Structure 1
Protein backbone atom coordinates (compact mmCIF):
# COMPACT_ATOMS: atom_id res chain seq x y z
CA UNK A 1 0.00 0.00 0.00
CA UNK A 2 1.32 3.44 -0.89
CA UNK A 3 2.00 5.93 1.93
CA UNK A 4 -0.56 8.38 0.47
CA UNK A 5 -3.28 5.70 0.41
CA UNK A 6 -2.43 4.69 3.98
CA UNK A 7 -2.71 8.30 5.18
CA UNK A 8 -6.02 8.69 3.33
CA UNK A 9 -7.51 5.58 4.96
CA UNK A 10 -6.19 6.64 8.35
CA UNK A 11 -7.75 10.09 7.94
CA UNK A 12 -11.13 8.56 7.08
CA UNK A 13 -10.88 6.31 10.12
CA UNK A 14 -10.19 9.29 12.38
CA UNK A 15 -13.14 11.22 10.90
CA UNK A 16 -15.49 8.27 11.43
CA UNK A 17 -14.31 7.87 15.02
CA UNK A 18 -14.97 11.56 15.66
CA UNK A 19 -18.42 11.43 14.05
CA UNK A 20 -19.56 8.25 15.80
CA UNK A 21 -20.35 9.90 19.17
CA UNK A 22 -22.28 12.63 17.34
CA UNK A 23 -24.36 10.06 15.45
CA UNK A 24 -25.06 8.06 18.61
CA UNK A 25 -26.07 11.23 20.48
CA UNK A 26 -28.38 12.32 17.65
CA UNK A 27 -30.10 8.94 17.60
CA UNK A 28 -30.55 8.99 21.37
CA UNK A 29 -31.92 12.53 21.24
CA UNK A 30 -34.40 11.61 18.47
CA UNK A 31 -35.63 8.67 20.55
CA UNK A 32 -35.93 10.82 23.68
CA UNK A 33 -38.02 13.46 21.91
CA UNK A 34 -39.97 11.16 19.60
CA UNK A 35 -41.44 12.25 16.30
CA UNK A 36 -43.13 11.30 13.03
CA UNK A 37 -41.50 11.67 9.64
CA UNK A 38 -43.18 10.82 6.33
CA UNK A 39 -40.69 9.09 4.04
CA UNK A 40 -42.75 8.37 0.94
CA UNK A 41 -46.28 8.90 -0.39
CA UNK A 42 -47.78 7.57 -3.59
CA UNK A 43 -51.17 7.46 -5.29
CA UNK A 44 -51.78 4.39 -7.46
CA UNK A 45 -54.62 3.72 -9.92
CA UNK A 46 -56.77 0.64 -9.41
CA UNK A 47 -59.87 -0.73 -11.10
CA UNK A 48 -62.27 1.09 -8.81
CA UNK A 49 -60.37 4.37 -8.44
CA UNK A 50 -57.18 5.23 -6.59
CA UNK A 51 -55.30 3.96 -3.56
CA UNK A 52 -52.90 5.62 -1.15
CA UNK A 53 -49.55 4.18 -0.04
CA UNK A 54 -47.56 5.76 2.80
CA UNK A 55 -44.19 5.02 4.38
CA UNK A 56 -43.32 6.93 7.54
CA UNK A 57 -41.20 6.64 10.66
CA UNK A 58 -42.83 6.86 14.11
CA UNK A 59 -40.66 7.16 17.21
CA UNK A 60 -42.24 7.32 20.67
CA UNK A 61 -40.68 9.24 23.52
CA UNK A 62 -40.48 7.88 27.06
CA UNK A 63 -43.72 9.60 28.11
CA UNK A 64 -45.72 7.84 25.41
CA UNK A 65 -44.03 4.50 26.09
CA UNK A 66 -44.97 4.81 29.76
CA UNK A 67 -48.55 5.62 28.77
CA UNK A 68 -48.65 2.41 26.74
CA UNK A 69 -47.34 0.42 29.71
CA UNK A 70 -50.22 1.82 31.78
CA UNK A 71 -52.70 0.37 29.29
CA UNK A 72 -53.48 3.61 27.44
CA UNK A 73 -54.34 3.16 23.76
CA UNK A 74 -52.56 5.59 21.43
CA UNK A 75 -54.45 6.42 18.24
CA UNK A 76 -52.53 7.53 15.15
CA UNK A 77 -54.27 9.24 12.24
CA UNK A 78 -53.12 9.47 8.63
CA UNK A 79 -55.12 11.99 6.61
CA UNK A 80 -54.77 12.63 2.88
CA UNK A 81 -56.73 15.31 1.01
CA UNK A 82 -56.99 16.16 -2.66
CA UNK A 83 -58.13 19.70 -3.37
CA UNK A 84 -59.10 21.41 -6.62
CA UNK A 85 -57.75 25.00 -6.46
CA UNK A 86 -60.18 27.55 -7.95
CA UNK A 87 -59.13 31.13 -8.53
CA UNK A 88 -62.71 32.37 -8.77
CA UNK A 89 -64.03 30.76 -5.57
CA UNK A 90 -63.01 28.73 -2.52
CA UNK A 91 -60.85 25.65 -3.12
CA UNK A 92 -62.90 22.46 -3.42
CA UNK A 93 -62.04 19.19 -1.69
CA UNK A 94 -62.50 16.41 -4.25
CA UNK A 95 -61.12 13.32 -2.48
CA UNK A 96 -59.81 12.12 0.85
CA UNK A 97 -58.44 9.14 2.72
CA UNK A 98 -58.36 8.96 6.51
CA UNK A 99 -57.06 6.09 8.61
CA UNK A 100 -57.04 5.84 12.41
CA UNK A 101 -55.12 2.95 14.03
CA UNK A 102 -54.91 2.22 17.75
CA UNK A 103 -51.74 1.00 19.44
CA UNK A 104 -52.09 -0.72 22.84
CA UNK A 105 -49.90 -2.81 25.14
CA UNK A 106 -51.32 -5.83 26.98
CA UNK A 107 -49.26 -6.55 30.09
CA UNK A 108 -50.83 -9.97 30.62
CA UNK A 109 -49.58 -11.35 27.30
CA UNK A 110 -46.70 -8.85 26.95
CA UNK A 111 -47.82 -8.02 23.45
CA UNK A 112 -48.51 -4.84 21.50
CA UNK A 113 -51.65 -4.75 19.41
CA UNK A 114 -52.63 -2.61 16.43
CA UNK A 115 -56.35 -2.29 15.82
CA UNK A 116 -58.49 -0.73 13.10
CA UNK A 117 -62.19 -1.41 13.51
CA UNK A 118 -62.68 -5.18 13.85
CA UNK A 119 -59.19 -5.90 12.54
CA UNK A 120 -56.20 -6.36 14.85
CA UNK A 121 -52.64 -7.65 14.78
CA UNK A 122 -50.34 -8.49 17.71
CA UNK A 123 -46.57 -8.06 18.09
CA UNK A 124 -44.03 -9.09 20.71
CA UNK A 125 -41.99 -5.87 20.50
CA UNK A 126 -42.83 -2.19 20.21
CA UNK A 127 -40.37 -1.84 17.33
CA UNK A 128 -42.30 -4.41 15.28
CA UNK A 129 -45.62 -2.73 15.99
CA UNK A 130 -44.31 0.72 15.05
CA UNK A 131 -42.78 -0.65 11.87
CA UNK A 132 -46.15 -1.96 10.69
CA UNK A 133 -47.97 1.15 11.96
CA UNK A 134 -45.63 3.35 9.93
CA UNK A 135 -46.27 1.58 6.63
CA UNK A 136 -49.53 0.79 4.87
CA UNK A 137 -50.57 -0.05 1.35
CA UNK A 138 -53.76 0.06 -0.68
CA UNK A 139 -55.76 2.52 1.41
CA UNK A 140 -58.81 3.57 -0.68
CA UNK A 141 -59.10 7.23 -1.67
CA UNK A 142 -62.76 8.25 -1.50
CA UNK A 143 -63.78 10.67 -4.25
CA UNK A 144 -66.33 13.29 -3.23
CA UNK A 145 -66.76 14.60 -6.75
CA UNK A 146 -65.57 13.64 -10.23
CA UNK A 147 -61.81 13.21 -10.46
CA UNK A 148 -60.41 14.48 -13.75
CA UNK A 149 -57.34 13.48 -15.68
CA UNK A 150 -54.86 16.22 -16.57
CA UNK A 151 -56.04 18.53 -13.79
CA UNK A 152 -53.42 19.67 -11.31
CA UNK A 153 -54.69 19.12 -7.78
CA UNK A 154 -53.21 20.14 -4.45
CA UNK A 155 -52.47 17.12 -2.26
CA UNK A 156 -51.91 17.32 1.51
CA UNK A 157 -50.90 14.66 4.01
CA UNK A 158 -50.28 14.57 7.74
CA UNK A 159 -49.75 11.81 10.32
CA UNK A 160 -50.37 12.57 14.00
CA UNK A 161 -51.21 11.24 17.45
CA UNK A 162 -54.92 11.84 18.06
CA UNK A 163 -55.12 13.36 21.55
CA UNK A 164 -58.93 13.58 21.41
CA UNK A 165 -59.11 9.78 21.78
CA UNK A 166 -57.17 9.73 25.05
CA UNK A 167 -58.98 9.33 28.39
CA UNK A 168 -60.13 12.69 29.79
CA UNK A 169 -57.48 12.87 32.59
CA UNK A 170 -54.72 12.40 30.02
CA UNK A 171 -56.24 15.02 27.71
CA UNK A 172 -55.81 17.56 30.52
CA UNK A 173 -52.21 16.43 31.02
CA UNK A 174 -51.39 16.91 27.33
CA UNK A 175 -52.32 20.62 27.33
CA UNK A 176 -49.12 22.56 26.68
CA UNK A 177 -46.95 19.41 26.82
CA UNK A 178 -44.62 18.84 23.90
CA UNK A 179 -44.21 15.19 24.95
CA UNK A 180 -47.72 14.49 23.70
CA UNK A 181 -47.55 16.67 20.60
CA UNK A 182 -46.49 13.99 18.13
CA UNK A 183 -47.10 14.89 14.49
CA UNK A 184 -45.43 14.91 11.11
CA UNK A 185 -45.06 18.09 9.10
CA UNK A 186 -48.14 19.00 7.07
CA UNK A 187 -46.99 18.02 3.59
CA UNK A 188 -48.43 19.78 0.55
CA UNK A 189 -47.63 19.29 -3.13
CA UNK A 190 -49.21 19.60 -6.57
CA UNK A 191 -50.00 16.49 -8.55
CA UNK A 192 -51.93 15.11 -11.51
CA UNK A 193 -53.70 11.81 -11.10
CA UNK A 194 -51.94 8.89 -12.81
CA UNK A 195 -53.75 7.40 -15.78
CA UNK A 196 -55.82 4.28 -15.06
CA UNK A 197 -53.81 1.27 -16.14
CA UNK A 198 -53.61 -2.46 -15.66
CA UNK A 199 -49.96 -2.06 -14.69
CA UNK A 200 -49.88 -2.00 -10.86
CA UNK A 201 -46.44 -0.39 -10.88
CA UNK A 202 -47.84 2.87 -12.23
CA UNK A 203 -48.19 5.50 -9.51
CA UNK A 204 -47.91 9.22 -8.79
CA UNK A 205 -45.64 9.86 -5.83
CA UNK A 206 -44.44 12.71 -3.69
Structure 2
Protein backbone atom coordinates (compact mmCIF):
# COMPACT_ATOMS: atom_id res chain seq x y z
CA UNK A 1 0.00 0.00 0.00
CA UNK A 2 2.83 2.42 0.78
CA UNK A 3 4.53 1.69 -2.55
CA UNK A 4 1.32 2.59 -4.35
CA UNK A 5 1.02 5.81 -2.35
CA UNK A 6 4.65 6.63 -3.13
CA UNK A 7 4.08 5.99 -6.84
CA UNK A 8 0.98 8.21 -6.82
CA UNK A 9 3.10 11.01 -5.33
CA UNK A 10 5.49 10.84 -8.30
CA UNK A 11 2.78 11.11 -10.91
CA UNK A 12 1.95 14.65 -12.00
CA UNK A 13 -1.31 15.97 -10.64
CA UNK A 14 -4.00 16.56 -13.25
CA UNK A 15 -4.15 20.19 -14.28
CA UNK A 16 -7.28 21.98 -13.15
CA UNK A 17 -9.30 23.50 -15.93
CA UNK A 18 -8.67 27.22 -16.00
CA UNK A 19 -11.97 28.02 -17.59
CA UNK A 20 -15.39 27.87 -16.09
CA UNK A 21 -17.94 25.89 -18.05
CA UNK A 22 -19.77 27.64 -20.83
CA UNK A 23 -23.51 28.14 -20.50
CA UNK A 24 -26.36 29.47 -22.61
CA UNK A 25 -27.81 32.34 -20.59
CA UNK A 26 -30.57 33.52 -22.94
CA UNK A 27 -32.68 32.11 -25.79
CA UNK A 28 -35.76 33.54 -27.50
CA UNK A 29 -37.69 33.17 -30.74
CA UNK A 30 -38.92 36.29 -32.53
CA UNK A 31 -41.17 36.91 -35.49
CA UNK A 32 -39.94 39.63 -37.82
CA UNK A 33 -41.32 40.28 -41.27
CA UNK A 34 -41.96 36.89 -42.83
CA UNK A 35 -39.37 34.96 -40.80
CA UNK A 36 -38.69 33.50 -37.38
CA UNK A 37 -35.35 34.31 -35.74
CA UNK A 38 -33.50 32.89 -32.74
CA UNK A 39 -31.47 35.12 -30.44
CA UNK A 40 -29.15 33.53 -27.89
CA UNK A 41 -26.41 34.58 -25.49
CA UNK A 42 -23.55 32.38 -24.30
CA UNK A 43 -21.33 33.04 -21.30
CA UNK A 44 -17.79 31.63 -21.08
CA UNK A 45 -14.29 32.67 -20.12
CA UNK A 46 -11.61 32.25 -22.77
CA UNK A 47 -8.88 29.94 -21.41
CA UNK A 48 -5.36 31.34 -21.21
CA UNK A 49 -4.05 28.75 -23.68
CA UNK A 50 -6.60 29.73 -26.34
CA UNK A 51 -5.84 33.42 -25.76
CA UNK A 52 -2.11 32.76 -26.27
CA UNK A 53 -2.85 31.01 -29.57
CA UNK A 54 -4.95 33.99 -30.69
CA UNK A 55 -2.18 36.43 -29.70
CA UNK A 56 0.18 34.56 -32.04
CA UNK A 57 -2.10 35.32 -34.98
CA UNK A 58 -3.72 31.87 -35.29
CA UNK A 59 -7.45 31.98 -35.99
CA UNK A 60 -9.94 30.27 -33.67
CA UNK A 61 -13.33 29.06 -34.89
CA UNK A 62 -16.67 28.95 -33.08
CA UNK A 63 -19.93 27.34 -34.23
CA UNK A 64 -23.48 28.09 -33.09
CA UNK A 65 -26.09 25.54 -34.18
CA UNK A 66 -29.85 25.49 -33.62
CA UNK A 67 -32.65 23.07 -34.37
CA UNK A 68 -36.36 23.90 -34.12
CA UNK A 69 -38.95 21.15 -33.74
CA UNK A 70 -42.73 20.83 -34.00
CA UNK A 71 -44.25 18.67 -31.28
CA UNK A 72 -46.28 15.65 -32.37
CA UNK A 73 -48.36 13.58 -29.98
CA UNK A 74 -48.23 10.43 -32.13
CA UNK A 75 -44.51 10.23 -32.88
CA UNK A 76 -41.23 11.91 -32.12
CA UNK A 77 -41.03 15.66 -32.69
CA UNK A 78 -40.53 16.73 -36.31
CA UNK A 79 -37.50 18.88 -37.06
CA UNK A 80 -38.73 22.01 -38.84
CA UNK A 81 -35.46 23.94 -39.16
CA UNK A 82 -31.74 23.45 -38.68
CA UNK A 83 -29.28 26.34 -39.02
CA UNK A 84 -25.67 27.10 -38.13
CA UNK A 85 -23.49 30.17 -37.76
CA UNK A 86 -19.71 29.84 -38.15
CA UNK A 87 -17.40 32.45 -36.65
CA UNK A 88 -13.67 32.94 -37.24
CA UNK A 89 -11.81 35.13 -34.74
CA UNK A 90 -8.26 36.24 -35.56
CA UNK A 91 -5.75 38.87 -34.47
CA UNK A 92 -4.36 41.11 -37.23
CA UNK A 93 -0.80 42.02 -36.09
CA UNK A 94 -0.28 44.77 -38.70
CA UNK A 95 -3.35 46.76 -37.69
CA UNK A 96 -3.36 45.49 -34.07
CA UNK A 97 -7.06 44.80 -34.34
CA UNK A 98 -9.26 41.74 -33.93
CA UNK A 99 -11.25 40.50 -36.92
CA UNK A 100 -14.43 38.45 -36.69
CA UNK A 101 -15.78 36.71 -39.80
CA UNK A 102 -19.35 35.36 -39.59
CA UNK A 103 -20.80 32.95 -42.16
CA UNK A 104 -23.68 30.46 -42.48
CA UNK A 105 -21.24 27.87 -43.92
CA UNK A 106 -17.87 26.66 -42.61
CA UNK A 107 -15.07 29.14 -43.23
CA UNK A 108 -12.16 27.43 -44.98
CA UNK A 109 -8.69 28.44 -46.09
CA UNK A 110 -9.89 28.31 -49.71
CA UNK A 111 -11.68 31.60 -49.12
CA UNK A 112 -14.13 33.30 -46.86
CA UNK A 113 -17.00 33.29 -49.37
CA UNK A 114 -19.93 35.46 -48.34
CA UNK A 115 -19.10 36.51 -44.80
CA UNK A 116 -19.84 39.43 -42.54
CA UNK A 117 -16.57 40.97 -41.33
CA UNK A 118 -16.22 43.10 -38.21
CA UNK A 119 -13.12 44.66 -36.69
CA UNK A 120 -12.61 45.31 -32.97
CA UNK A 121 -9.98 47.20 -31.00
CA UNK A 122 -9.84 44.73 -28.10
CA UNK A 123 -10.23 40.99 -27.63
CA UNK A 124 -12.96 41.51 -25.04
CA UNK A 125 -15.06 43.48 -27.56
CA UNK A 126 -14.60 40.75 -30.17
CA UNK A 127 -15.55 38.03 -27.67
CA UNK A 128 -18.72 39.90 -26.71
CA UNK A 129 -19.76 39.75 -30.38
CA UNK A 130 -18.99 36.01 -30.48
CA UNK A 131 -21.06 35.39 -27.32
CA UNK A 132 -24.17 37.12 -28.75
CA UNK A 133 -25.83 35.07 -31.45
CA UNK A 134 -28.42 37.48 -32.78
CA UNK A 135 -31.11 36.99 -35.41
CA UNK A 136 -30.29 33.44 -36.47
CA UNK A 137 -32.93 32.84 -39.16
CA UNK A 138 -34.82 29.64 -38.36
CA UNK A 139 -37.25 29.75 -41.27
CA UNK A 140 -40.35 31.30 -42.81
CA UNK A 141 -43.54 32.03 -40.89
CA UNK A 142 -45.37 29.75 -43.31
CA UNK A 143 -43.25 26.79 -42.12
CA UNK A 144 -43.34 27.60 -38.40
CA UNK A 145 -46.60 27.90 -36.50
CA UNK A 146 -46.84 31.23 -34.64
CA UNK A 147 -49.28 30.13 -31.97
CA UNK A 148 -47.44 27.00 -30.81
CA UNK A 149 -44.58 26.53 -28.40
CA UNK A 150 -41.59 24.99 -30.17
CA UNK A 151 -38.81 22.87 -28.70
CA UNK A 152 -35.49 24.49 -29.64
CA UNK A 153 -32.07 22.90 -29.20
CA UNK A 154 -29.12 25.33 -29.27
CA UNK A 155 -25.44 24.33 -29.23
CA UNK A 156 -22.34 26.55 -29.10
CA UNK A 157 -18.79 25.20 -29.34
CA UNK A 158 -15.19 25.93 -30.10
CA UNK A 159 -14.51 24.14 -33.41
CA UNK A 160 -11.10 22.53 -32.95
CA UNK A 161 -11.34 20.65 -36.27
CA UNK A 162 -10.43 23.84 -38.15
CA UNK A 163 -7.28 24.58 -36.17
CA UNK A 164 -3.89 23.90 -37.79
CA UNK A 165 -2.95 20.19 -37.60
CA UNK A 166 -0.16 20.58 -34.96
CA UNK A 167 -2.67 22.10 -32.52
CA UNK A 168 -5.17 19.31 -33.16
CA UNK A 169 -2.56 16.68 -32.30
CA UNK A 170 -1.31 18.49 -29.19
CA UNK A 171 -4.70 19.26 -27.66
CA UNK A 172 -5.69 15.70 -26.79
CA UNK A 173 -6.73 15.60 -23.14
CA UNK A 174 -6.47 19.37 -22.60
CA UNK A 175 -9.63 20.82 -21.06
CA UNK A 176 -8.71 24.35 -22.21
CA UNK A 177 -9.90 23.53 -25.72
CA UNK A 178 -13.30 22.30 -24.54
CA UNK A 179 -15.71 25.24 -24.79
CA UNK A 180 -19.19 23.77 -25.25
CA UNK A 181 -22.63 25.02 -24.22
CA UNK A 182 -25.96 23.40 -24.97
CA UNK A 183 -29.53 24.18 -24.02
CA UNK A 184 -32.93 22.81 -24.96
CA UNK A 185 -36.07 24.82 -24.21
CA UNK A 186 -39.68 25.12 -25.32
CA UNK A 187 -40.10 28.65 -26.67
CA UNK A 188 -43.09 30.63 -27.95
CA UNK A 189 -42.70 32.76 -31.07
CA UNK A 190 -42.77 36.36 -29.86
CA UNK A 191 -43.14 39.58 -31.82
CA UNK A 192 -40.01 41.63 -32.38
CA UNK A 193 -40.12 45.21 -31.08
Pair in the same fold by TM > 0.5: yes
Quickly say closer, same or farther: Cα 1:152–1:42, change in 2 above 3 A.
closer
Deviations for 1:29-58, whole angstroms, at most 9, x for unmatched residues? 99x325433221111101121112122223
Structure 2 segments unaligned to the other structure (5+ residues): 1-15, 103-113
In the superposition, the TM-score normalised over structure 1's length comes to 0.71
Secondary structure of the residue aligned to 2:79 is strand
Task: Tell me how large the CA RMSD over aligned residues is.
Answer: 2.4
Equivalent residue, structure 1, for 2:130: 133
Please tell me whether Structure 1 or Structure 2 has the larger radius of gyration of its CA atoms. Answer: 1
Distance 1:193 1:119, change over 3 A: closer
Q: Which residue does 1:188 correspond to in 2?
A: 184
Number of the residue aligned with 2:55 = 69
Quote the offset at 1:188 in angstroms.
0.9
1:54 matched to 2:21 = no
Instruction: Identify the residue that residue 161 of structure 2 maps to in structure 1.
Output: 164
Q: Please give the alpha-carbon distance, in whole angstroms, between the structure 2 residues aligned to 1:102 and 1:34.
A: 22
**Larger helix proportion, structure 1 or 2?**
1
1:41 aligns with 2:32: no
Aligned to 1:59, what secondary structure does the other structure show? Answer: coil
Which aligned runs of 4 or more in structure 1 are off by greater than 3 angstroms? 85-91, 149-152
CA contact (8 A) 1:158 1:187 kept: yes
Q: What's the TM-score, normalizing by structure 2?
A: 0.75
Contact 2:28–2:187 under 8 Å retained in 1: no
1:80 aligns with 2:77: no
